[in-house]
Amino acid sequence: MYLKSLEISGFKSFAKKANLKFDSPISAIVGPNGSGKSNIAEAFRFVLGEQSMKSLRGKRGEDLIWNGAGDGGRANRASVKVVFDNSRRFLPIDFEEVIIERAVYRDSVNEYLINGSQVRLKDVLELLSAAHIGSSGHHIISQGEADKILNSSSRDRKTMIEDALGLKIYQYKCLESGRKLLKTEENIKSVISLRREIAPHIKFLFRQVEKIEKAKTMRGELGVLYKEYFARENLYLTETRKILESKLKSPREKLATLEHELARAKKVLEDSVSKDSKTEEVIRFEKEMKTAREEKDALLRELGRLEGEIFSLKKIIEREQKSSRAENTTVSAGDIRALVEKVEPQIETLKENPTSLFTLIKSTIDSLKNFIKYGEYSGSVTGEVEEEMNSLEEKRKGLDTRVKEAEQKEKELQREYNKIRQEIEKDKDSSRDAEKAVFRILSEESRIRAELQKLSGEEDRLSRDKEAFARELDEAKVFVGQAVWQFKDFTLSEGEALTAEIVISESRGKQEERRKTIEKIKIRLEDMGGGGGEEILKEYKEVSERDAFLERELTDLEKSADDLKKLIEELGKKLQNEFADGVAKINKEFQEFFELMFGGGSASLSITKEKKRKRISEETSEGMETFYDEEDKEEIEEGIEVSVSLPRKRIKGLMMLSGGERALTSIALLFAMSQVKPPPFIILDETDAALDEANSRKYSDMVENLSKSSQLILITHNRETMSRAGVLYGVTMDSSGISKVLSVKFDEAVAVAK
Ligand code: ATP
């Protein structure tokens, strides 16, 4: 048994809490008309999620709440609790006991709880559908509704049978999947339109990115080219500088030497100006030498005259000596003195005036001749003459010394003079050399200067190249950043080091070609514009990631749409198959129950096909609601028709059955349905009302039989039915309009029922 109890509180006439325990397979609820029995059946409908107010005999939610009667105040809330024993897990929830509760408030707000947790209606319906107690309520037959299944449209009948067969769960799933599919298709559409929206932007960004990538590649190429170019240029500059320095070294040194030499030569030339002073000295010496020579000559002449005088005196002396021998002439001393007195002034004059020396000497000599010729002297003169001669000899000796001195002086002067002359000659030679040297130096200098001039052109070119190198490095930094310094690690493709020799031996034109290639790439890069395009790359990455995400989402959505379609199809097939199967099984039972009821005859269900009406399902706050729209000409839908043939009667067709017959047929069908997929409980509210005694017995037999598979709650006035119940509840209503439930004995029940 699954159903344990029902608690009603504030619901309709049950102002006070009422608890009904169902611990018997068959429970009967009895009581006088209007006491509130049907309210119990409705309490079941209510708690199991019934949404139709009509089925609950009301218009609004408020109608379900104890409204007060007499002096009893109104309730604000109606609640019903049903307790199931779930030890056999007939409800797919992992609890031993499942309590489903529903409450409604005056503002029509409903509350649903499963085991105390607030849930949605949908959750309640889904949970119950697994136990074949769906909202179509085929297991709750309200008063006067026994033949409801016969009165319903073939489509609604089908729904009831589906419900009884426990197929509702598939329908829920189908509907749910349909809704999901719809939502998925909407999502697919919006994803597609989103992608379509961003597509041009992605395309634009992609082109930009392509450009950036190309520029990046070009920048990479440029880096490689730069590396070699700068490595070569750097080496070229350093090496060329070295070569130039070495070229400059010798001419510079030479020039310095020449300048030094020039200075020296100039000094020599300047010094030659001092030769004039030497010339003056020469002249002075020449003069002195002349004077010395003249003095010497005068002395020599004096000497000559003296010697002549001495000679003459000697002769006189000799003659005197002869004559004295012969004549014995004696020259007095007075005579000699007179001669000396005569000659002496002349000699003095001679000394004083050398120019008249000759004339004087002559006149002196003449005086002497005359003296001797005319005998101015007489007698013996020999003594005087000898005296005279001795004095002259003395004088000669003095003169000799003086001549020797004069000669010595002249010689010395001559030597000095020669020395100066030599010096002058020497000076003349060196100034000539200096002049020559100046000319040579100047011409050499101008040659070297020309050479240096040429080299300075090279130097200029080199410094221009150096400036250009620095400029190019700066520019390169803009394009390749710090990678520009990598040129220092440059090696040739063979890993061979780039040497100065290699660089210098290459023609400059090649390096120029490299530079031009670099320039071309630079211009192209500049034309492309933009820096690293980080923003664009970032945006492209983001946008394309978003697009990729959308694409993945689209694939996922399409897959889930496909899955849903498949699921719907599968569910549809399953539903169809299980339905056909179920109907066949019901038919078998239906025939048996029918035969049992009518003692023969035949009854069957058949699946009909008719044009489908559009079904619109909406989820409202009250749960799923289904509407039918105009006929859809395209689709066909199935329904269920009931055909009966009563024994011994020619009656065929439901319309022609009597009330009792309709009730019996309905009961047969309901019981048949319950046999195939027994619901945990069945509530039959005065289903037996129209039966006569014989049929009541048959009915009770069937009920008893049915109670083996489903718990039965029977609201009845029928004695026969009451007699089969294990538990009997009597419902009473006092003057306050409040229903009360109490357990009663069979006899009491019979009494209460009346
Ligand atoms: P019968 O045997 O004639 O079918 P019953 O026992 O099935 O009668 P119900 O139809 O269950 O009787 O009960 C109807 C009673 O419930 C009426 O008296 C009605 O006034 C009362 N009732 C219904 N709704 C409310 C409400 N909201 N507040 C108070 N009383 C209510």
Residue 130 CA, ligand 1 centroid: distance in Å: 32
Count Cβ atoms within 10 A of the Cβ of residue 725 and give its class: 0-12 exposed, 13-18 middle, 19 or more buried. Answer: buried
Residue 687 CA, ligand 1 centroid: distance in Å: 18
Task: Name which of 14, 24, 122 is nearest 78 in CA terms.
Answer: 14
Ligand 1 pocket check: which of 9, 39, 687, 731 to mutate, most ligand atoms within 8 Å of Cβ? 39
Residue 621 has what pLDDT? Answer: 56
Find the length of the chain.
Answer: 754
Query: 272 is written with which tokens?
Result: 């030659």
Atom of ligand 1 nearest to the CA of 731: 6
CB under 8 A, 24+ apart: contacts of 155-158: 155/610, 155/637, 155/639, 157/639, 157/640, 157/641, 157/642, 158/579, 158/607, 158/638, 158/639, 158/640
Question: Residue 377 corresponds to which amino acid?
Answer: Y
Query: 386 is written with which tokens?
Result: 């000898």
Report domain extents, the chain.
1-139+681-754
Residue 556 has what pLDDT? Answer: 93
Residue 497 has what pLDDT? Answer: 84
Residue 13 CA, ligand 1 centroid: distance in Å: 6
Residue 467 has what pLDDT? Answer: 93
Summarize the confidence of residues 570-595 as an average pLDDT: 90
Mean pLDDT score of the chain, rounded to an integer?
A: 84
Which residue's CA is minimally distant from atom 21 of ligand 1? 13
**CB of 82 within 8 A of CB of 3?**
yes
Tell me: pLDDT of 416 over 90: no
Task: Name which of 299, 303, 298, 296 is nearest 407 in CA terms.
Answer: 296
Class of the domain covering 1-139+681-754: alpha beta
Residue 29 CA, ligand 1 centroid: distance in Å: 14
Ligand 1 pocket check: which of 38, 57, 713 to mutate, most ligand atoms within 8 Å of Cβ? 38
* 3-state DSSP assignment of residue 228: helix
For 530: left if phi > 0, alpha if psi spans -120 to 50, otherwise beta; the answer is left
pLDDT digits (tens, 9 = 90+) for 52-87: 888 788 888 888 999 886 666 788 899 999 999 999
- The CA distance from 623 to 398, in Å, is 181
Is the pLDDT higher at 268 or at 579? 579
Only one residue has tokens 């001559």, namely: 414
Is the pLDDT higher at 531 or at 179? 179
pLDDT class for 19, splitting at 50, 70, 90? Answer: very high
- The CA distance from 209 to 213, in Å, is 6
Count Cβ atoms within 10 A of the Cβ of residue 326 and give its class: 0-12 exposed, 13-18 middle, 19 or more buried. Answer: exposed
Question: Residue 154 corresponds to which amino acid?
Answer: S
The 3 state secondary structure assigned to 522-572 is HHHHHHHCCCCCHHHHHHHHHHHHHHHHHHHHHHHHHHHHHHHHHHHHHHH
Summarize the confidence of residues 531-535 as an average pLDDT: 72
Summarize the confidence of residues 557-584 as an average pLDDT: 90
Residue 14 CA, ligand 1 centroid: distance in Å: 9
Residue 587 has what pLDDT? Answer: 93
Summarize the confidence of residues 154-178 as an average pLDDT: 84
Ligand 1 pocket check: which of 12, 717, 733, 736 to mutate, most ligand atoms within 8 Å of Cβ? 12
Which residue's CA is minimally distant from atom 17 of ligand 1? 34
Summarize the confidence of residues 712-739 as an average pLDDT: 91
**CB of 514 within 8 A of CB of 228?**
yes
Residue 17 has what pLDDT? Answer: 94
- Helix ranges, 599-709 (H): 659-676, 693-706
Tell me: pLDDT of 651 over 90: no
pLDDT digits (tens, 9 = 90+) for 301-325: 888 878 877 777 777 777 777 765 5
Only one residue has tokens 């005569």, namely: 342
Residue 39 CA, ligand 1 centroid: distance in Å: 6
Which residue's CA is minimally distant from atom 25 of ligand 1? 12
pLDDT class for 531, splitting at 50, 70, 90? Answer: low
pLDDT class for 216, splitting at 50, 70, 90? Answer: confident
Summarize the confidence of residues 689-696 as an average pLDDT: 85
Ligand 1 pocket check: which of 35, 40, 145 to mutate, most ligand atoms within 8 Å of Cβ? 35
Atom of ligand 1 nearest to the CA of 65: 27
Residue 84 has what pLDDT? Answer: 95
Residue 33 CA, ligand 1 centroid: distance in Å: 8
Residue 131 CA, ligand 1 centroid: distance in Å: 29
- The CA distance from 407 to 261, in Å, is 47
Is the pLDDT higher at 500 or at 166? 500
Task: Name which of 19, 46, 41, 148 is nearest 714 in CA terms.
Answer: 41
pLDDT class for 655, splitting at 50, 70, 90? Answer: confident
Atom of ligand 1 nearest to the CA of 715: 7
Question: Residue 252 corresponds to which amino acid?
Answer: R
- The CA distance from 610 to 601, in Å, is 28
pLDDT class for 454, splitting at 50, 70, 90? Answer: confident
pLDDT class for 119, splitting at 50, 70, 90? Answer: very high
Residue 453 has what pLDDT? Answer: 87
How far, in Å, are 13, 39, 79, 137, 553 from residue 44 at the CA level?
Answer: 14, 9, 11, 10, 45
Tell me: pLDDT of 718 over 80: yes
The dihedral through the CA atoms of 138, 139, 144, 146 has a sign that is: positive
pTM of the shown model: 0.54
pLDDT digits (tens, 9 = 90+) for 102-116: 999 999 899 999 999
pLDDT digits (tens, 9 = 90+) for 377-404: 447 556 777 788 888 888 888 888 988 8
Count Cβ atoms within 10 A of the Cβ of residue 53 and give its class: 0-12 exposed, 13-18 middle, 19 or more buried. Answer: middle
Tell me: pLDDT of 576 over 70: yes
pLDDT class for 239, splitting at 50, 70, 90? Answer: very high
pLDDT digits (tens, 9 = 90+) for 474-498: 988 888 888 888 888 888 877 788 8
**CB of 687 within 8 A of CB of 715?**
no
The proportion of the chain whose per-residue pLDDT surpasses 70, expressed as a percent, equals: 88
Residue 646 has what pLDDT? Answer: 87
Residue 322 CA, ligand 1 centroid: distance in Å: 234
Summarize the confidence of residues 26-53 as an average pLDDT: 91
Residue 42 CA, ligand 1 centroid: distance in Å: 10
CB under 8 A, 24+ apart: contacts of 473-476: 473/230, 475/522, 476/222, 476/226, 476/230
Which residue's CA is minimally distant from atom 3 of ligand 1? 33
How far, in Å, are 234, 682, 724, 754 from residue 699 at the CA level?
Answer: 117, 14, 11, 20
Residue 323 has what pLDDT? Answer: 67
Residue 34 CA, ligand 1 centroid: distance in Å: 5
Q: What is the DSSP letter of 449?
A: H
pLDDT class for 29, splitting at 50, 70, 90? Answer: very high
pLDDT digits (tens, 9 = 90+) for 336-383: 777 777 777 777 776 666 655 667 677 767 766 666 655 544 475 567
Which residue's CA is minimally distant from atom 30 of ligand 1? 13
pLDDT class for 46, splitting at 50, 70, 90? Answer: very high
Only one residue has tokens 């005319």, namely: 374
Residue 731 CA, ligand 1 centroid: distance in Å: 11
Tell me: pLDDT of 740 over 90: yes
Tell me: pLDDT of 190 over 70: yes
Tell me: pLDDT of 5 over 90: yes
- The CA distance from 286 to 290, in Å, is 6
Pocket of ligand 1 (CB under 6 A): 12-13, 31, 33-39, 63, 66-67, 69, 143, 737
